[in-house]
Amino acid sequence: MGFARKVWHLLVGIKDALALLFLLLFFGLLFAALSARPNPGVVRDGGALLLDIDGVIVEEISPINPLQALLSQTVPIREYAARDLARAIDAAAADERIDALALDLTGFLGGGAVHMQEVAGALARFKAADKPIYSFGVAYGDDALLLAAHSDEIWVDPLGGVAISGPGGENLYYAAALERFNINANVYRVGTYKSAVEPYTETAMSPEARENLAQLLATLWQEWRAQVSSARPDADIELVTTDIEGWLAASNNDLAEAALAAGLADRIGTRVEWGERIAQIVGEDRWDNDPGSFTATEYDPWLADVEGGLDFGSDGRIGVVTIAGEISDGDAGPGSAGAERISRLLDNALDDDLDALVVRVDSPGGTVTGSETIRRAILRHKDAGIPIAVSMGNYAASGGYWVATPADRIFAEPETLTGSIGVFAVFPSFEDLLTEYGVNSDGVRTTGLSGQPDLLGGLTPEVDAVLQGSVENTYARFLGLVSQSRGLSLERADELGQGRVWDGGAARQLGLVDQFGDLDAAISWAAERAELDAGEYDVRHLGDGAPRYDSLFAQLMASDSGDSTGDGRGHDLAATFARAEMARLARVLDDVDTLMGSEGVQARCMECAMLPANTAIAPERVRTGGWPRLFAQLLAD
């Protein structure tokens, strides 16, 4: 009994210690959260707006999982909402307290094509207000250069340079590996161009997929070149993309000098020298004696000041709901489109007497059931008699287009990727692999569907028929939604479908979208349809009222690691290429999730992962999955 009593006291002591630890952690985080809120009072009267974009630009910021962040001991990569950045820049352009804009792109990791255009447009408007922009970076990639092109002076670190990659790359195909290991993919699909399942059925890209992807990449590449050339006419993009060896050799392989020679940069210097240059324009910081300091207002307090000045007192109300990321059936998000969460936001807004609803879609799709849940929630607003507009971001493909079908009008950008009207399902089975190792499956069935789908014993012809029939029926329903909403015949909808992805320009010509325009254009149209004049309505982003502590955890982790820049990794060109390769490796795990997840019928544009809307995103934003990803990560460790 004495031994048992000691064990009991030990267990109670461990329990009390853990409880105390978590209480201390909770109150410590609570205190930090209250003290970490940006203070509008630190906005400087005069000086520059300092935008140190040390992360990725996204449609909707994902919440940080505090437990995961603390256990991993890694600093979460920061996310910036494109609309927040654009609003901050536009406010600075009109504010007398801001004399210049300092754009530090040292830690910038990129974003989607539409988001880049949105922020670049705000920079162009800032410059048009006769206020200078000074950019600094070490390694300028495509996205960074698109933003920096609007600068009066582009500074590059002596150890840095510029590398224009252009859209494109390679995908991995697993058919031969699956055959070698006796794994059956069991793919069910509809659509000639529905290449989402090709990695599991082919050893190379099909001619149809190659044709579709080549057209999309050519359009996006042309758009990027046109935007950079318009902002920076002297930039010799042809030289740095067609004769890279000759271009570098002319500058003795000095990447910074080569950037200067090609008109992609104006000055070579360190960040301190860049800061001293800005101090000549806006003045030195009297409170900061660090080298290269200048009078500046940072992004967080500036955005807090801008948001604090918003007035919500008008009678008219336009709601904006965001569907960003992969569509699932659960409560996921923000940053991913959990159908349960989004439908709840929409249903709660039914009591708000909205005059119009704008649906912002930035999603490659996901589950059919999740997409349909969101569509039905949007229809409940349409049944209330209010106009519905859809604004497409980087992509609104597959399930992302499914949720757009209730719209009275669809807006897209030339760089938007949409369509991908097609569905598929993947169910792996391992009967051949198990047989190879002497493991057999046997039993008694009352029907061909008993115990199915059996991933270990194999799928029966009956379940094959059910799954293929389900996919074909879902595709027919998808075509019906497109036909009804766009005023097309079923035959024409099928011609535009088949899983093919379209850029915004082609989609507009084909009638899949109505007109070019950003989110503001969609809101203006909705207000006009609701007979609301400018200044007579408020724009309310559904779900924006939830408290956020993202900056808190990022600050805590950065402080603990001694890294103030966020990710702690190198920022030269070699590090940039390495991060791109790590993102590619992370997509391999995503492919494994897709194969092993058995998530039912999918309306998802897997091709979109290869396109610029996704390639710049850091590995941490790649879709997370269940045991297959965990198993692969354990092997990697």
Q: Please identify every residue annotated as catalytic.
A: 194, 398
Per the DSSP assignment, residues forming a β-bridge with 296 are 48
Distance in angstroms (rounded) separating the CA atoms of residues 272 and 274: 5
**Three-class SS state of 257:** helix
Amino acid at 173: Y
Q: 449: which DSSP letter?
A: T
Nearest Cα residue to 131 out of 155, 104, 150: 150
d(CA 416, CA 263): 29
Closest C-alpha among 150, 176, 149, 172 to residue 162: 149
Contact (Cβ atoms closer than 8 angstroms) between residue 262 and residue 255 = no
Dihedral angle, C-alpha 121, 122, 128, 133, nearest 10 °: -110
Distance in angstroms (rounded) separating the CA atoms of residues 380 and 376: 6
Element of type H or E holding 569: none
Tokens of 375: 């569509």
Q: Are 381 and 357 in contact (CB under 8 A)?
A: yes
Spatial separation of the C-alpha atoms in residues 376 and 436, rounded to whole Å: 47
Burial class (CB in 10 A: 0-12, 13-18, 19+), 119: buried
Given a contact cutoff of 8 angstroms between Cβ atoms, the answer to whether 319 and 545 are in contact is: no
Chain centroid offset of residue 407 CA: 23
What letter represents residue 535's amino acid? G
Evaluate whether 122 touches 155 at the Cβ level (below 8 Å). Answer: no
366 phi/psi in degrees, rounded to 5: 170, -130
Report the length, in residues, of the chain. Answer: 637
At 296 the three-state DSSP class reads strand
Task: List all residues 6 or more positions away from 382 whose beta carbon is below 8 Å from its beta carbon.
Answer: 388, 406
3-state secondary structure 472-500: HHHHHHHHHHHHHHHCCCHHHHHHHCCCC
Name 409's bridge partners: 389
DSSP label at 65? Answer: -
